[in-house]
Amino acid sequence: MPSTKTTVPPPGWVDRFDGKLVLVLLDNKYTPSIKQGRSLWGLHDPLSYTPSDAADTITAPPGFVTDLASIPRWGWIVLPPDGPWVKGAVVHDFLYATRGTGVWKTHPSGNTRPAPYSRAEADWILRDALKNRGVDVVRRNIIWAAVRIGGGNGWGKDDSRQKRATPADEAYVTG
């Protein structure tokens, strides 16, 4: 039976996201497109976020490719890739893929701020977005610490350039 519980935002809460998160699973006709065991998703509609410390807006355009929250598989029991942090993760992936510039493929910059965001700022924006989505302080700090420690290799990596899986790439086990 579906829950009838309604969630009421705290007094003074402002939704800093503009747009619904509408995703399309990317595939190559036979299998999903994957990155290190995680499915890749494309934004169907733009998704914007305005950090709490500024009036600037970050907008990931339609078609932008994400793996949602880049949480290692062993951590999925506690923090699955598609929890309440997913909108923040998509904006964070966008900042990482564009090295903070907001310029992705042929799209104009998705940032209203003229200067690029640094990696540290992108990670702070993730934590800010998680707070805005109601993620508790422990989980948002774990996620933030994880990207600060392990996210350096992802800075400037665009998931849309990942190899697409084919049946020949998969190891099929028959039993």
Is there a domain that residue 5 lies in? no
Contact of 31 with 21, CB cutoff 8 Å: no
Q: Could you tell me the pLDDT band of residue 49, with boundaries at 50, 70 and 90?
A: very high
* Within-domain flag for 167: no
In the chain, the number of structural domains is 1
Q: Would residue 21 count as lying in a domain? A: yes
Helix/strand/coil for 145 = helix
DSSP code at position 32: B
Query: What range does the domain containing 54 cover?
Result: 17-162
Residue 2 within a domain:
no
Q: What percent of the chain has pLDDT over 90?
A: 46
69 or 17: whose pLDDT is higher? 17
Strands 34-35 and 38-39: antiparallel
Query: Is residue 106 domain-resident?
Result: yes
Considering the domain boundaries, does residue 170 fall inside one? no
Q: Which tens digit of pLDDT belongs to each residue from 52-95? A: 998 899 999 999 999 888 776 667 777 777 788 999 999 999 99
What is the pTM (predicted TM-score) of this model? 0.81
Domain-located, residue 76: yes
Is residue 1 a part of any domain in this protein? no
